[in-house]
Every structure is written in structure tokens, then in C-alpha cells.
A and B are shown apart, each in its own frame.
Chain A
Amino acid sequence: MKPKLSSALAVLSVLLLVAVPLVFPADIANTLSRVLALALLAVSLDLLVGVSGMPSLGHAAPFGVGAYAAALVARDTTSFAPVPLLVAVVAGGLFALLTGVLMVRTKGTYFLMLTLAIAELAHVLAQRWEGLTGGTNGLYGIPSLTLAPGGEPVTLAGVRYWWILLIFLIGFAIVWWTSRSMLGRSLRGLRDNEERMASIGYSTFWLKLAVYGIAGGVAGAAGSLWVAQNRFVSPEDLAFEVSAMALLAVVVGGRGRLWGAVLGAALVTIVRDDIGASLGGRGPLLLGLVFIAAVYLLPHGFAGTNWRQLFTRRPQEDKA
């Protein structure tokens, strides 16, 4: 796509997203808020999977850590919107940095396994540490966020949606900027040939740890948005299913294309929550089928597939 056209499309999509609460009823804004939170998670995962070549099976962990941190702050300290958000970013980022020290030294199948195992540990922790997390019941009664310190809680779905949209856009911009920066270019080099990057003098450990931390921080932000919308957090929010959904969003959308991950997140959420529910709660079955189909049929995802080429008539072979 030409740069002018794609930036026009980007501006148009943002305007459409801003206009949603003015046009549609509240439940649409609520659904979209959830989609945006998951989309931000998927975008941050894409920074790892698509840009840096670090496929994580446990990205729900920093998301969940951020969600719990935001919920605790909102409940016990202040629900002034930026505070739980920032705490969630720090919590998710720190969690990623601390676990990342172990993880980023491995790659390939080993990295996949480790991310899965650490996320599962976080999941178990959330279930067992009842004093902090409320155990399997989770934390509920999280107050609605306020837009001024000590101000009135936000009750309009549309206003909450706008806050979530704003943070989503900022988070998206941070990830986009990271992937375009020197760091992002080094990460692509890492993805394509780690040995070469190491031999020309890059410290692959610090590069990987840095991106792991950034992705963790953004995932934490996504977790705080999730809590801002649901006002409830439970161990299910950092279960393997969340990691799997985020990964599916990235793969369906197209690895390394950040906006593809957003589309993927929308698709996955709708498939699981709406279509799955109408099929009598067979969400996992449907999700599994989408997984299989995505791997076989859309290896580059929506965003990476050259649709025009796919649907132009093949040139006729010369008749000899």
C-alpha cells in the first residue's frame, strides 16, 4: 500500500473508533472495550513473535500481573485512572524483566516451553495466594475508574471506552515506534539471523531482554484496561487460554504486522464469545479449529497475505 493511502486509512479507522459510542448502544462500546484490551495484548505479543522472533506461549502472565496490580491499586489506593495503569505497566514490565533473565537465554522450542511453564506458575500463584489475589474467587468489587483524583466514578460506557481507546492508541504507538526504531531494526536482525547479529557486536541478551520488558509493560497496560472494563479479575485472566487467544490473534492477523494483530484480536474475541456461545459453549473446539485452519491456510495471516495477487487471474500459459 502507498504510504499516503495507509496513513489516510489509519486516521479513518481511529475516527471511526472514536465515533462508536456516539452512534451505537452501550453494549457495543463494552464489547469493543474488551476487544481493545485484548488487541493491545496481541500487539505487544506481536512485538515479540513477529518483530523479534521470540514466540511466547505465556504472554497472559504479564497481562494478568498487570491486571491484578491495577485491580489492587484501584481497590485499595485510588481509582484515578492513570495510577492503576502506570502501576500495571511497571508490574508487567518488572515481571517480564525478572523472568526474562532466564527466558531470553534460550530460543526455539525451549523458549516456547519456558514461557508456557512460567505463565502456568503465575496462574497457580494467582489461585493459591489467597491473601493477595482472592484465590480462585478472584478480586471483585473493583471501583469504577475516575478521571480526576477523588472525582466522580465514570458510569457511562462510552467514556470508559474512550479512556480505553486512548490508552490502546498510546500503547499501539509505543509498540509501533519501538518496531520502527533502531531497537526494532536490531530485533528484526535478531529474528532473521541471531548469530550474525552477535558476531557484528550486538549483545543479543540485552536486546532480547529489553524487548521482553517492553512487551511485558504494554501487556500489563492491556491488563489494566481489561480490569477497567470488567471491574473483576480472576486466575482465568492469566490462564493458558488467554495466551493462546492472543497468539491466535497474532497469527490470524499476520505476524509482524501490528494492525493485523488488532484485526485478529477482534476476530478471535467474536468467534469465542459470540459464535462460541451460540454453539452451546463450544468455544475451545471452535478456537482449535480456527488454529488449525490458520496454520494451514493463512501462514502469513490476513495482513501478510497478498490478496490482490491471490485473486487476480493467473496469466494463461502459452499454448505451444
Chain B
Amino acid sequence: MTALTANFITDNGVTMIDGLATGVLLFVIALGLSLVFGVMDVLNLAHGAIYLLGAYVAVALLGGGTKMTLLAFGGAVLLAAIIGGFSGWGLSAMVRPVAHRGHLDQALLTLGIALVVSDLVAMKFGNDVRSIPAPAGLDGSATIFGQSYPVYRLVVIVVGGLLAVGALYVIERTRVGSLVRASVVDPQMVSALGVDTKRLVTGVFAAGAALAAAGGVIGGPILSAYPGLDNRVLLLGLVVVVIGGLGSVSGALVGALVIGQIETLGVSLLPDHASFLVFGAMGLVLLLRPQGLLGKKEATA
């Protein structure tokens, strides 16, 4: 039995580390989706488009395909985060006038924005897949379980992990975080206590979008950049949120790690059924625990 486990780990260890990298990246993306969802009860279908904007920031700065220095790459992450933050701010301003009109109108509005943004990006950068090389110094490989493995993905795990810890700390331990969590449960009450919920919501929208756009750069060397990537990212983000539970930060983390493993380990163990595994997992969670693994709010609310 132990020999079997050891074999499983040596055989699939690299795949599992890959899954961890994917999961961490998914968490960075899904966090904004989940919080906007929780605080504003808005399904932001433009979230994937913001990720795409981030990815193409990297493409634009990359120029003629030369490798970026670490500093330039960090600068790209920062620039993407700033652009994403402003986009999130703009999005929340655009959604506010229709906030009282129900879920569909908000979803349609963000869908329209997503279509416009991604088509403009395709117009500017073309329809080809643009690869984004890892920054110089991180483009080598390390040996893990006797196989070579790109160092960059290990860095993604560390950086994404730090972001996750940071986000968890802000949400769970700080005053702003407690206001955000309170707004997820009862926005009217938070507003009645004298908190400017409008600013709070705008802040959450901007921060979530900034994370998504930064994720676009960080994920660039793994997922590249191409038209249509926005939909893929959005869908994976939605699945993560459904599995983890609405507006729950730790839920998003668990959901992202689970989906990360399913996406990589599942693909390598059951290649024929890979595309169903993700959605199968979602269906299972919904059937057994409709509010999501760590969701407290009723799924029907």
C-alpha cells in the first residue's frame, strides 16, 4: 500500500505540482468574482475580459518577443493591476445605475462590456495565440521527482500563495475585511451602521479586477494570451465560486485548489473524460451541498 502511494506520488507528483500552480492562479482570478458576487450580488461576466486585458498588457510590453527582465515583468504585473483596478472602478460605476433592476440586467450589461473589450483586444492584437515567455532568471527548470520542471511555475505557486495569504488576512483579520464580510451577509445593515457601502463596493470591484488583471500577467507564461481565453477563464472562475461557495474567500481557495488538481491530474489520469471532470465535480457539489463547500449563505437566496 505504501509502495503504491509512493509510486503514485513519484508518477504524478509533477502533475500535482502543476495542479497547485493552476489552482493558485485560479484563486487569484476567482477571488474578485466571488467577492463582487457576495458584496454586490452581481454576476460580473466581464471578469474574464479583465483577465484578458492583463494578459495583453504583458503582450504589449513584451514587444518583439524578447525576454523581459524580472523588474520589467514585475512592472507589467503592477501596470496590469492598475489598469485592472481602474476597469473595475469603471465597471462598478456602469453597473450601479442598473443595480436595482435584477440579476439579469447586470449580467447582460457586463456581458456587453466583455464582448466589446475582448473584440477590441482582438482588433488590436489579432487572433493568434501570443505566448508570453517567463522573465529572465525564472525561465530555467528544476529537478523534481527525477523530472525537470519549469522554475517559473514554482514561483507562481509562491507568489500566488502569498497573494492568497494576504487576501485571506485582509478579509478575515482587518476592519475593512470585516466590513466586506458583513456586506456579503447583510448590506442594508452595514449601510445603516453608517458605512459608505458605495465606496466599499467600488473598492471590492476595483481590487477584484486588479487581482484578475495581475493574474493575466502572472498566468501569461502558462496560459498565453488569445481571444477566447477570457471565456475559459471566466468559466473556470465561475466553477470555482460555485464549488467554494458564494462570497467565501476560504471557499474560493478550496474550490480553486480542487479545480486545479482536477484540471491537471484529471487530464493526465483520465484524458478521455477530462472535460467532464470539472463540471462533474461542480454538479456533484451542487447536488450534495448546493451552497458550496464553504458557503454559509443559502444558495437560493
Contacts and interface: CB of A to CB of B under 8 A. Distances in A.
Interface of A: 49, 55, 57, 102, 105-110, 112-114, 116-118, 120-121, 124-125, 128, 240, 244, 247-248, 251, 282, 284-285, 287-292, 294-296, 299
B276 A121 contact: yes
30 contacts: A102-B283, A102-B286, A105-B300, A106-B290, A109-B37, A109-B42, A109-B43, A109-B107, A109-B246, A110-B300, A116-B238, A117-B238, A117-B279, A117-B282, A118-B279, A121-B275, A247-B108, A284-B116, A285-B120, A287-B115, A288-B111, A288-B117, A290-B112, A291-B112, A291-B115, A292-B109, A292-B113, A292-B116, A296-B109, A299-B105
A151 to B, nearest CB: 41
Interface stretch (B74-82, B96-104, B187-195): B96-104
Given A288-B116, A295-B109, A299-B105, 7 more contacts: A108-B41, A109-B43, A251-B104, A282-B119, A285-B116, A287-B115, A289-B116
A291 B108 contact: yes
B204 interface: no
Nearest to B43: A109
Given A113-B238, A290-B112, A295-B112, A102 B287 contact: yes
Nearest to A105: B290
B299 interface: yes
A128 B37 contact: no
Contacts of A120: 235, 279
A103 to B, nearest CB: 9
A291 B275 contact: no
A107 B241 CA distance: 15
B119 A284 contact: yes
Interface in B243-301: 246, 275-276, 279, 282-283, 286-287, 290, 299-301
A288 B242 contact: no
A299 B99 CA distance: 13
B239 A285 contact: no
Contacts, number: 113
A108 B286 contact: no
Most buried by A among B104, B112, B283, B301: B104
A117 B239 CA distance: 8
A265 to B, nearest CB: 16
Contact of B242 (A55, A110, A124): A110
Interface of B is mostly: helix
A120 B278 CA distance: 11
Interface string B127-160: 0000000000000000000000000000000000
A105 B235 CA distance: 21
Interface in B153-193: none
A116 to B, nearest CB: 7
B298 to A, nearest CB: 10
A184 B1 CA distance: 60
Contacts of A244: 111, 115
B71 interface: no
Contacts of B242: 110, 113-114, 117
A57 B107 contact: yes
Contacts of B22: none
A240 B115 CA distance: 11
Contact of A106 (B111, B118, B123, B300): B300
B105 A285 contact: no
B6 to A, nearest CB: 34
A137 B173 CA distance: 53
B112 A289 contact: yes
Contact of A288 (B115, B282, B300): B115
A194 B300 CA distance: 11
Contacts of A291: 108-109, 111-112, 115
B231 interface: yes
A251 B275 contact: no
A55 B111 CA distance: 14
A291 B246 CA distance: 26
A225 B96 CA distance: 40
Contact of A128 (B120, B239, B275): B275
